[in-house]
Amino acid sequence: MSDSVAEVKKHVRVYMTVFGSLALLTVITVAASYVHFQTSITITIALFIATLKAGLVASYFMHLISEKKLIYNILIITAVFFFAMMFLVLTAYLDRLT
């Protein structure tokens, strides 16, 4: 029984650490919004912080950190298709400008 109590405490500690990290990243996001950079730099910073937060949520709260290789392969394929679609939209937009 003591193993399960220690295990629960370990999981709670991990979740509290992830919560603290998400709260800190949220504070950093809000602080970064008050600093005036160029629009492209601001968007890059915001997307980087959002990617870190999404990675934490997916890894710990969705339990992807302990999943099998198949889940990671599906995630990677989805990300590749997402970036391919974004690239197609960007090239179509740039083609329209020229």
pTM for the predicted model, two decimal places: 0.66
For 76-97, write each residue's pLDDT tens digit.
999 999 999 999 988 888 888 7
Domain edges within the chain? 1-66, 68-98
Q: For helices 39-56 and 2-34, give the axis angle rounded to 10 degrees.
A: 170
Q: Once rounded to an integer, what is the mean pLDDT over residues 2-20? A: 87
CA distances from 53 to 18, 27, 77, 88, 89 (A): 9, 12, 20, 26, 25
Position 17 confidence tier, pLDDT thresholds 50, 70, 90: very high
For 34-81, write each residue's pLDDT tens digit.
998 888 888 899 899 999 999 999 888 888 777 777 777 888 999 999
Residue 35: φ, ψ to 5°: -85, 135
Contact, 22 vs 5, CB < 8 A? no
Residue type at 22?
Answer: L
